[in-house]
Amino acid sequence: MRAADEPLAAAAQAIQHARRLVVLTGAGVSRESGIPTFRDALEGLWAQYDPQQLASPAGFRRDPTLVWQWYAARRRAVAAAQPNAAHIALARLGAVKATTLITQNVDGLHEAAGSTAVLHLHGALDRYKCVDRGHGHDIALETLPDAPPPCSVCGALLRPDVVWFGEMLPPEILSRAIAATEQADLMLVVGTSGLVHPAASLPLLAAQCGAVTIEVNPEATALTPHMTLSLRGAAGALLPALVDSL
Ligand code: OAD
């Protein structure tokens, strides 16, 4: 076996022996589906905007139509994307091992690959809520208006049901993610820079609770020094290799 294969073999063996897995994914897991990661999402059309101005309550108050259209463009891009080998491998993993899948992504590609009961820490692009009382709305992509429509219940403007900078995560989802992390004996961390909390604190919590922690990322991240193993590579290549070995 080449030395380069050793971390992969060690990771595969750890997953093989794990009884309670938790997986945390970030935008990197969707990169091979053609979805830009959050911080390079501003290539092209949106290059002139600061994402924190678009994904924030202040940004929405300042220009609701611009923010609405930025999310509509991201939703259209996602609708044209297919789950990649990484999403498919994680769905297969969940079918053979007790696994809680927690994602920071809002693209729905884990469900498209067959994963179920996904915990969405940051919401979802295809869900909307009103700015005043959070009344939930579903709007089909083909009927999505060009500007935020009024809430059918209270008349306030609708906004994407995603977590924005400075906002709290959905408390019930977060508490389920923390509970799964505390009980896990292995956490797989895929495609996240580990910069945005509280999501980024989950791998640290897993390590504190004695779990084996394995990172999959082409680059080192803020989490790397805290990981049991850090596999350097694309999720679309490494995850199938890990799951095929089970
Ligand atoms: P980032 O854009 O911060 O980080 C993406 C990570 O994916 C980086 O570490 C890349 O090295 C890695 N990556 C790139 N290609 C990859 C591949 N093929 N396989 C595996 N990893 C790859 O995205 P997140 O960490 O997800 O919130 O950002 C966290 C949150 O910041 C996002 O959920 C977003 C933003 O606030 C919302 O949009 C609500």
Q: pLDDT tens, 6-38?
A: 899 999 999 999 999 999 999 999 999 999 887
Distances 81 to 35, 56, 84, 95, 109 between C-alpha atoms, Å: 7, 25, 9, 23, 8
Q: Quote the pLDDT of residue 86.
A: 98
> Which tokens belong to 210?
């004695």
Would you name the residues annotated as active-site residues?
122
Does the beta carbon of 191 lie inside 6 Å of ligand 1? yes
> Which tokens belong to 64?
């609701």
Q: Quote the pLDDT of residue 172.
A: 97
Q: Quote the pLDDT of residue 165.
A: 86
45 confidence band (pLDDT: 50, 70, 90): very low
Does the beta carbon of 204 lie inside 6 Å of ligand 1? no
In 149-245, alpha helices (H): 171-183, 202-208, 235-244
Nearest CA to ligand 1 atom 18: 234
Does the beta carbon of 219 lie inside 6 Å of ligand 1? yes
Does the beta carbon of 90 lie inside 6 Å of ligand 1? no
Atom of ligand 1 nearest to the CA of 163: 39
Element (H, E) at 130: strand 123-130
Which residue from 167, 222, 163 is spatially nearest to 189, judged by alpha carbons?
222
Please state whether 136 falls in left (phi above 0), alpha (psi between -120 and 50) or beta.
beta
- Any idea where the domains of the chain sit in the sequence? 3-35+83-122+168-244, 36-80+125-162
Domain 36-80+125-162: CATH class, spelled out: alpha beta
Distances 237 to 14, 87, 133, 212 between C-alpha atoms, Å: 18, 11, 43, 21
For the chain, give the mean pLDDT. Answer: 93
143 confidence band (pLDDT: 50, 70, 90): very high
**pTM, two decimal places:** 0.94
Task: Give the count of beta carbons closer than 10 Å to the beta carbon of residue 146.
Answer: 9
Q: Is the pLDDT confidence value at 182 over 60?
A: yes
Q: Is the pLDDT confidence value at 2 over 80?
A: no
Does the beta carbon of 161 lie inside 6 Å of ligand 1? no
> Which tokens belong to 14?
């750890």
pLDDT tens digit sequence for 52-71: 788 899 999 999 999 999 99
DSSP characters for 52-93?
Answer: HHHSSHHHHHH-HHHHHHHHHHHHHHHHT----HHHHHHHHH
Which residue from 118, 163, 112 is spatially nearest to 25, judged by alpha carbons?
118
Nearest CA to ligand 1 atom 14: 28
Residue bearing tokens 């999501």: 199
Does the beta carbon of 87 lie inside 6 Å of ligand 1? no
Q: Quote the pLDDT of residue 52.
A: 75
Atom of ligand 1 nearest to the CA of 27: 26
Q: What is the mean pLDDT of residues 195-212?
A: 96
- CATH: 3.40.1010.20, 3.20.20.370, 3.30.160.340, 3.40.50.1220. Which one for 3-35+83-122+168-244? 3.40.50.1220
Q: Is the pLDDT confidence value at 95 over 50?
A: yes
Does the beta carbon of 195 lie inside 6 Å of ligand 1? yes
User: Which residue from 24, 32, 33, 37 has its CB within 8 A of the most atoms of ligand 1, so it is best to mutate?
Assistant: 37
User: Which residue from 23, 24, 32, 38 has its CB within 8 A of the most atoms of ligand 1, so it is best to mutate?
Assistant: 38
* Matching fold, domains 3-35+83-122+168-244 and 36-80+125-162: no
CB half-sphere exposure, 62, CA atoms < 13 A? 9
Q: How far is the CA of 195 from the centre of ligand 1 (A)?
A: 9
